[in-house]
């Protein structure tokens, strides 16, 4: 699979676009779902990425910021492929970076599937009473722990398969976990004043 991904930037870009677009719409689906079931509330915003919080809170079907970043990141993937193919002559470098882009999205999609499964089960069978309120710092802390676990998983696969693609995923998941840990500390010391009561 990695050889196929390295021969041209097209498969990697297509895979990235599909994952990046579905990530946004699955986030909207989950945000709307949690609002409808009414059992789970989040301090601030359901969305953890600061630059997307306003768009997700408004349930915008089209996000200008999302489209711009989609185009820029897609062009960046093509540029990295060209750079490693024609100047650096290290195809594993491209796979490393592609793994960063793709596998972080795979980890995020697994979280989406968990949320969707939870929402579906509550809608269909109930099983939850009362309300749960997530502090912002707690949401970031849980997110960080999950990303660290995915990082460890991808690292094990990278070592066993000698895969720069999975190594890239391990690096990106670890970096995201580290960032969310820092955001957790910041949120804990500066609590959000506005509470997202519908989530």
In tens, the pLDDT along 8-60 reads: 899 999 999 999 999 999 999 999 999 888 888 888 889 998 889 999 999 99
Q: Is the pLDDT of residue 86 over 90?
A: no
Residues ≥6 apart with Cβ < 8 Å to 50: none
3-class SS at 162? coil
Say what the pTM is: 0.88
- The residue behind tokens 């601030």 is 44
Q: What is the mean pLDDT of residues 70-77?
A: 96
Token pair belonging to 179: 């960032």
What is the rounded end-to-end Cα distance, in angstroms, of the chain? 40
Query: Is the pLDDT higher at 197 or at 175?
Result: 175
Instruction: Quote the distance between the C-alpha of residue 171 and its chain's center.
Output: 14
| pLDDT of the residue at 194 | 43
Among 10-14, 150-154, 184-188, 189-193, where is mean pLDDT lowest?
189-193
pLDDT tens digits, one per residue of 117-175: 999 999 888 888 888 899 999 999 999 999 999 999 999 999 999 999 999 999 999 99
Q: Is 57 exposed, middle or buried (0-12, 13-18, 19+ CB in 10 A)?
A: middle
The encoded tokens of residue 90 equal 């290290």
5 has a pLDDT exceeding 50: yes
What does the pLDDT read at residue 89?
Answer: 66
* Gap between the Cα atoms of 170 and 95, Å rounded: 13
Confidence at residue 195, expressed as pLDDT on a 0 to 100 scale: 40
Q: Which residue has 């994952």 as its token pair?
A: 19
Separation of CA 6 from chain center: 23
CA–CA dist 190, 176 (Å, integer)? 21
- Taking the C-alpha atoms of residue 99 and residue 90, their distance in angstroms, rounded to an integer, is 15
């Amino acid at each position: 699979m990695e050889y196929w991904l390295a021969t041209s930037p097209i498969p990697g870009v297509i895979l990235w676009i599909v994952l990046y677009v579905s990530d946004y719409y699955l986030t909207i689906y989950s945000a709307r779902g949690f609002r409808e079931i009414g059992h789970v509330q989040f301090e601030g915003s359901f969305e953890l990425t600061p630059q997307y919080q306003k768009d997700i809170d408004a349930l915008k079907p089209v996000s200008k910021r999302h489209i711009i970043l989609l185009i820029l990141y897609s062009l960046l993937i093509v540029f990295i492929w060209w750079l490693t193919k024609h100047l650096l002559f290290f195809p594993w470098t491209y796979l490393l970076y592609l793994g960063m882009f793709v596998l972080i999205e795979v980890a995020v999609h697994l979280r989406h599937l968990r949320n969707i499964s939870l929402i579906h089960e509550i809608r269909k069978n109930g099983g939850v009473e009362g309300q749960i309120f997530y502090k912002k710092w707690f949401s970031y802390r849980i997110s960080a722990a999950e990303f660290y676990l995915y990082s460890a998983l991808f690292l094990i696969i990278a070592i066993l398969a000698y895969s720069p693609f999975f190594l890239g995923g391990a690096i990106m998941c670890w970096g995201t976990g580290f960032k969310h840990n820092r955001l957790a500390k910041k949120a804990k010391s500066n609590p959000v004043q506005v509470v997202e009561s519908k989530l």
